[in-house]
Chains A and B, each alone.
Chain A
Amino acid sequence: MKLSWWKLLCIVLLSYVLLGGLLMDVPRKAILNETIRNIYYHVPMWFGMMVLCGISVYHSIRFLRKPDMLSDIKATSYAATGMLYGALGIITGAIWAKYTWGKPWSNDIKQVGAAIALLIYAAYFVLRNSITDIDKRARVGAVYNIFAFAMLLPALWIIPRMMESLHPGGMGNPGADPRDMDARMRLIFWPAAVPGFIILGIWISSLTVRIRKIEDKNLLHV
């Protein structure tokens, strides 16, 4: 079995995140305590989701410019993996919130944003399934994907900065709050956890693309 370099890199990075994330020392903070390790697994899900959904939109744009079924397959595969990451992000967040904020769901603006993102992508798949014509399905799906993504970005990037939130970095940077991580944690988070999970998502999507390519061989004319 021969793996390309980026797949090996993914395995190395994620092994490091798994071992280092669970074993290496972390700062002791009130309330957070050891749960701060979840930052290695919860936050990269959102980075991964944004990247995967971005790739999905890129392929949707490519489909509209030059109709090609392969672009459509890629767009849906990346969107599906993005949804998986979003669901995992909500679940890891809910578990974390149960032990730190006291309950798994507190209508925090970022939780709402994540739920909106999942609903939008669920609607994307429902819309696709409601159209039987394959070309039309791909085209209408691509239009909705682009439109929904453009509407989603302000919801995820601008509104959380304007409203009060339980998440760290509210009214400022809604992503990772640098104040919560010390140098040791950053050594795992930025070089390994974020890129590792993004590459894993691309890997999963590329596998679904390959399966779909075999399944829809007669549609692709290759």
Chain B
Amino acid sequence: MNAITRIFALLKKDLLLELRQQYTFYGVLLYIASTVFVLYLAIQQPETDVWNGLFWMIQLFICVNAVAKSFLQESRGRMLYFYTIAGPGNFIIAKLLYNLIIMLIMSLVSLGLFILMIGNPLINFFHFLGIVSLGSVSLSLVFTMLAAIAAKAQQQASLMAIMGFPIIIPQLLLLMRISKAGFGETFKETALSDMIWLLSGLDLLVIIMAIILFPFLWKD
């Protein structure tokens, strides 16, 4: 088997597990629904800036919740098994892809719920949709790597927040900034594409770092 088939085999295994157990998916879905409902009860229809800020903060917490358990469910023995048949590089790529898919779905669901319950301030819906997809990719990549690190330490969830929030702030700031394109703000001619390129570059950087660094985490 070459690398790509291995990666897809691992990805398929994760997705199948998800489809059979449906624990994370519905768990996080319920998390999104209840959070957005509480927000609706608290603030109903906020201003655009508040909407934007809340949306991205909720994305952040959804991501922590959705990604945190991705390395927990693998027991030591199973990790060793994957290590021998697939190698750490393939394993982390499969995990990155899996979390990316989950996070993409969750982001789109939460966008739908936000528009349904907290109002729709979006003028340029498809711009914002693109930005949300880019944002969910960025968030899921960074937090997958952090989950891999946190899996090696005790107090998983809290550690992920401690390690992750400072690292993700720059990306979140950029995302909140470019989100304003969805609210009808116009940018200087190159500013928007510059920031999108920077975010994509950061995503690429995270993928490369994950592939290089994960083998060192894996060894025990």
Contacts and interface: CB of A to CB of B under 8 A. Distances in A.
A140 B209 CA distance: 14
Given A120-B167, A126-B159, A136 B205 contact: no
Judged by DSSP, the binding face of A is: helix
Contacts of A163: 177
Contacts of B170: 113, 116, 151, 154-155, 159
B142 A154 contact: no
A143 B88 CA distance: 15
A123 B158 CA distance: 11
Interface in A123-170: 123, 126-127, 130-131, 136, 139-140, 142-144, 146-148, 150-152, 154-155, 158-159, 162-163
A147 B213 contact: yes
Given A130-B159, A143-B216, A151 B167 contact: yes
Given A136-B220, A150-B205, A159-B198, A112 B173 contact: yes
A103 to B, nearest CB: 21
A119 interface: yes
Interface in B201-220: 201-202, 205-206, 209, 213, 216-217, 219-220
A138 to B, nearest CB: 11
A64 interface: yes
B122 to A, nearest CB: 23
Interface string B156-178: 00010011011101100110010
Contacts of B166: 116, 119-120, 123, 148
B205 A131 contact: no
A64 B216 contact: yes
Contacts of A148: 163, 166-167
B155 interface: yes
A43 to B, nearest CB: 21
Interface residues of B, number: 32
Given A158-B198, A162-B191, A162-B195, A142 B216 contact: yes
Interface residues of A, number: 30
B149 interface: yes
A38 to B, nearest CB: 26
Contacts of B145: 147
Nearest to B164: A123
B162 A147 contact: no
B37 to A, nearest CB: 31
Contacts of A162: 191, 194-195, 198
B163 A123 contact: yes
A130 B158 CA distance: 11
Q: Which 3 A-B residue pairs are closest in the complex by CB-CB distance?
A: A119-B166, A155-B170, A130-B153
28 contacts: A64-B213, A116-B166, A119-B165, A123-B163, A127-B153, A127-B162, A130-B154, A131-B152, A131-B153, A139-B219, A140-B152, A142-B216, A143-B216, A143-B217, A146-B209, A148-B166, A150-B209, A151-B142, A151-B170, A151-B202, A151-B205, A151-B206, A152-B167, A154-B170, A155-B170, A158-B198, A159-B198, A163-B177
Interface of A: 64, 109, 112-113, 116, 119-120, 123, 126-127, 130-131, 136, 139-140, 142-144, 146-148, 150-152, 154-155, 158-159, 162-163
Given A113-B170, A142-B216, A144-B163, 12 more contacts: A64-B213, A119-B165, A120-B167, A131-B152, A131-B153, A139-B219, A140-B217, A143-B149, A146-B209, A147-B209, A151-B205, A162-B195
